[in-house]
Homo-oligomer: A and B are copies of this chain.
Amino acid sequence: MKSGLSVLGEFGLIGRIRRDRRRNRSVIVGIGDDAAVFALSRGMAGLVTTDTLVDGTHFDLSYTSYFDLGWKAMAANLSDIAAMAGKPLLAVVSLTLTGKQTARAVDDLYRGMRALGNRYDVTIAGGDVVRGKEFSITVAVIGESHRDNVGLRSGAKPGDALLVTGSLGASQAGLDLLKSKSRNKNSEFTEKHLRPAPRVDEGLTLARKFELHGMIDISDGLASELHHLCTESRCGMVIDQGALPIARQAIERSAAGDKDPLDYCLYGGEEYELLFTLPPRDAVRAIKVLGAMGTDCSVIGQVTSGRSVRIIGPDGKARLLADRGYRHF
């Protein structure tokens, strides 16, 4: 019989969560005290980021398992650390449970968080479990980065090349497939949506090899993140439509649905790819360096003076790119 949380109780639940005693060397005191205690490496700056996922707004349990939900909650935060070119160290997790989640479901949620976290030696070192009427999960991740080489949204400079890792559009295409009535929901099409891979190693490699300029991760969609970079860096951008690395899944899903593959690429969220700028000479080297670790990377345009974000279409004409993507309000 599954044990409901009303039977298990808050402290029983915390006991279950504590069972995993894996520690990384950054965590001095983990779950079970008033706060977690951690160490930063000598001379490094700390990073902290947090993301909340709410049932019905950010995930749908009809096609998302608790394991995948845990994975994604961790991925969203690791991606933010990656976007600072940082190394993630530990996480704290706040759960709001409605009483309907079984102990097994909560175990699966933590298994999902740990499955991804363990890849980067990230420990869940504390958190909070509360009761509410709506199920949600808030993860905060602590990381570290070199103080003088952080990937900032404000670091883009006119003349920089604009680069993006991987391909774009597969997450949204996978989501559309999951929501559709199609019976053929194979994991190749849905993996990027359900188990996104944050670009932690890529961010760290870029920080090791280059003096970083602008950097952000793609969580709300490419168009939206381009505007964030421009706003924070007080610059403009021009994108080559033909250079955009549109994911194969986006192209195939477009054939089945009614969306343009370009829409998936420009406006699809939850990609967790890195969007960054470097001087053109470094950009060429960055593509090689990331390629050597198996990660595709493309130059998709350049940083300009002015403040507009434009895209050059196949007709050779530049048009303004709308600042839209996923909005919570």
Q: Residues of A with Cβ closer than 8 Å to B?
A: 5-6, 8-10, 13, 28-29, 32-40, 45-58, 79-81, 83-84, 86, 90, 92, 94, 96-97, 99, 125-134, 136, 138, 140-143, 145, 147, 150-154, 215-217, 232, 327-329
Contact = CB atoms under 8 A, between A and B. Distances in A.
A217 B54 contact: no
A94 B37 contact: no
Tallying the copies of this chain within the complex gives: 2
Contacts of A58: 130
A141 B142 CA distance: 11
A7 B83 CA distance: 30
A49 B35 contact: yes
18 contacts: A28-B147, A33-B84, A35-B81, A35-B83, A36-B47, A37-B47, A37-B147, A39-B45, A39-B46, A46-B142, A48-B126, A48-B140, A50-B127, A56-B132, A57-B132, A99-B329, A129-B328, A132-B134
A147 B50 contact: no
B8 A329 contact: yes
A31 to B, nearest CB: 11
Contact of A10 (B96, B215, B329): B329
A80 B34 contact: yes
A39 B147 contact: yes
Nearest to A219: B34
A146 to B, nearest CB: 10
A84 to B, nearest CB: 5
